[in-house]
Each structure stands twice: as structure tokens, then as C-alpha cells.
Structure 1
Amino acid sequence: MSKHNAKARQIKGKLKETLGKTMGDKSMQRSGRSDMLRGKAQEVAEKAADQVRRHTRHH
């Protein structure tokens, strides 16, 4: 998954969480938070993978 997809998932999650708050839908809020966290984890994993790739190319 690309960094862009990870960011998109975070944004989608934030929107879903906000909509859930507005509608009083706790399940939607939790789902949105979950999406945000998955997106952040993917973003962090991609950054780490980029660092590893850069580091291994120089050796």
C-alpha cells in the first residue's frame, strides 16, 4: 500500500468518525477511529520500509 492510500484511509476514517459523532452512532465513530489507526500504521510501515530500502542500497 502506498503512502497516499494510507493518508486517504486516515482522512476517510476521520470523516467517518466525525459523521458518527454528528449522528450519535458510536459504532461508526469506532470504525472511523479504526480506519484512522490502520492508515497511520500503514504510513509508518511504509516510511520504515523506505528507510530500509535506502539503507540497503548504500551498502
Structure 2
Amino acid sequence: MARQEKAKAKMEQAKGKAKEAAGRAVGNERMTAEGRAEQAKGDVRQAKEKAKDATRH
């Protein structure tokens, strides 16, 4: 399950990065902000999984 969560975190980060870039390209501030939010969500998920890994070992 941890592997799935890590993959989900990476996917959210990549999706957010792409959305942010697309928003910048077309000048859409809302899309840019949504992209940043998705990246942050992925960062939080990744940090949570790293903390879980640290407590297991």
C-alpha cells in the first residue's frame, strides 16, 4: 500500500507541475494556483509516507 501512496504523491506532483505550466502559458492565474495546490498536496502526501517509512525502520 505504501508503494501506491508514493506513486500517487508523485503523480499529483507531476500533474500539478503540468497544470501550473499550462496556466502560465495561457495566462490563467486560477489554473496556475490549482497546479501549485496539487503540487503541495503531493508534497504533503510524500512527506507523510516518508515519516511512515522512518518509523518502521
Question: Which residue does the alignment assign to 2:15?
Answer: 12
Question: Which residue does the alignment assign to 1:57?
Answer: none
Aligned structure 1 segments of 4 or more residues deviating by more than 2 angstroms:
none
Q: Tell me the TM-score normalised to structure 1 length.
A: 0.86
What fraction of aligned residue pairs are identical, expressed as a percent?
37
Query: Is residue 2:31 matched to residue 1:48?
Result: no
Please give the alpha-carbon distance, in whole angstroms, between the structure 2 residues aligned to 1:12 and 1:31: 10
Please give the alpha-carbon distance, in whole angstroms, between the structure 2 residues aligned to 1:33 and 1:4: 18
Uncovered stretches (5+) of structure 2, i.e. residues with no partner: none
Q: CA RMSD in A?
A: 1.0
Q: Which of 1 and 2 has greater Rg? A: 1
Question: Which residue does the alignment assign to 1:2?
Answer: 5
Uncovered stretches (5+) of structure 1, i.e. residues with no partner: 55-59
